[in-house]
Homo-oligomer: A and B are copies of this chain.
Amino acid sequence: MKVLTKKTDYAIRALLMLGAKRGSYVSAKSIAAEQDMPYQFLRGVLQEMIRHGLIVSKEGVQGGFMMEKDADDIGVRQLIEIFQGRVQVSECMFRKQICANRSRCVLRHEIMRIEQVVSNEFEQVTIGKLLRKLNATGNLMPALKDGEEPS
């Protein structure tokens, strides 16, 4: 069970870069290079974020992307929603032949409760919060020396 897909993951990390370099335009190329993401794929992710008003872009030489919204107003929950759709425990719960009467469906009840808990947790993890933790603890992703394993 994978909670974050690549798109969401790349989006978060791209936003962390944009948040760190606020005020200047950062190119997709440089983000892709620094964070080791596939260039064209990342571009699609960035476009999607533009459409949702999280970032803006500038075309041409010296162009790139810049964070638009306040970093504290961008939560991981929103990013999940954009790239993976709304958190839903089980779609089939809503099909009438399976759960005819929602109010009586105990499974659905439990599941909705958890949905809420999960959603709230992700809501509270904002790009701003992550950025502050970053500043406090150093780099997000320090380079690995050759052959070194993640600790």
Interface hit among A25-33, A44-52, A55-63, A99-107? A99-107
Count of chain A residues near B, Cβ 8 A = 63
Q: Quick check: B138 and A2 within 8 Å, CB to CB?
A: no
When chains A and B are docked, how far (Å) is the Cα of A122 from the Cα of B3? 14
Q: Which residues of the other chain, B, contact A13 by a CB distance below 8 angstroms?
A: 107
Shortest Cβ distance from A138 into B: residue: B104
Shortest Cβ distance from A85 into B: residue: B1
Q: Quick check: A140 and B106 within 8 Å, CB to CB?
A: yes
Q: Quick check: B117 and A117 within 8 Å, CB to CB?
A: yes
Q: Which residues of the other chain, B, contact A138 by a CB distance below 8 angstroms?
A: 104
When chains A and B are docked, how far (Å) is the Cα of A138 from the Cα of B101? 11
Shortest Cβ distance from A95 into B: residue: B150
Q: Quick check: A100 and B148 within 8 Å, CB to CB?
A: yes
A121 CB to nearest chain B CB (Å): 5
Give me 25 A-to-B residue pairs in the complex whose CB atoms sit less than 8 angstroms apart, sorted by A's number: A1-B84, A1-B87, A2-B85, A2-B88, A2-B89, A2-B90, A2-B91, A3-B87, A3-B115, A4-B89, A16-B107, A36-B97, A94-B150, A96-B149, A97-B144, A99-B150, A100-B143, A100-B148, A100-B150, A101-B151, A102-B151, A104-B137, A106-B137, A110-B130, A111-B125
Q: Top 7 nearest A-B pairs by Cβ distance? A: A100-B144, A106-B133, A4-B90, A1-B84, A3-B89, A114-B121, A96-B150
